[in-house]
Amino acid sequence: MISIRNIDHVVIRAADMDRALAFYCGVLGCTEERRLDSIGLVQLRAGTSMIDLMDAAENPPPAGAGNMDHFAVRVDPFDAEAIRAHLAEHGIEMGKVESRVGAEGNGPSVYVQDPDGNTVELKGPAYNP
């Protein structure tokens, strides 16, 4: 069984980064936490979660996809082998476990696809919170 604690982050492709930042920061009150200009990403703090904005011009969506890249749920506990076994019981393939940055910091995560092809990141705890 997988136990979701909360939404960790959502990744959205922004057609106009300045307009998106004005909305998420100026209107909704998020704060900029980190910028990765090399990949066109701005990470915003939204309470205990994150909203990541990707520049759509630099990171175009696959054909037929919308503007959401993926969303992440925080899984507690994060036991990669138990998660893999649980998903396999349901016929779901799990990607490679990798270290990725989330709302709590850098920690283990894995991508899976829901039945409609949406990417869901299962995110573990930060290595050094």
Average pLDDT over the chain, rounded to an integer:
90
Do the Cβ atoms of 51 and 12 come closer than 8 Å? yes
35 falls within a domain:
yes
pLDDT for 65 equals 74
CATH code, domain carrying 43: 3.10.180.10
Who has greater pLDDT, 129 or 53? 53
> What mean pLDDT is predicted for residues 4-12?
92
Q: Which domain holds residue 61?
A: 4-123
56 falls within a domain:
yes
Please name the amino acid found at residue 8. Answer: D
DSSP tag of 16? S
Do the Cβ atoms of 92 and 59 come closer than 8 Å? no
pLDDT for 125 equals 95
Q: pLDDT tens digit string along 43-102?
A: 999 989 999 999 988 888 877 777 888 999 999 999 999 999 999 999 999 999 999 999
129 falls within a domain:
no
What Rg do the C-alpha atoms of the chain give, in angstroms?
15
Rounded Cα gap, residues 9 and 79, in angstroms? 20
Rounded Cα gap, residues 35 and 54, in angstroms? 10
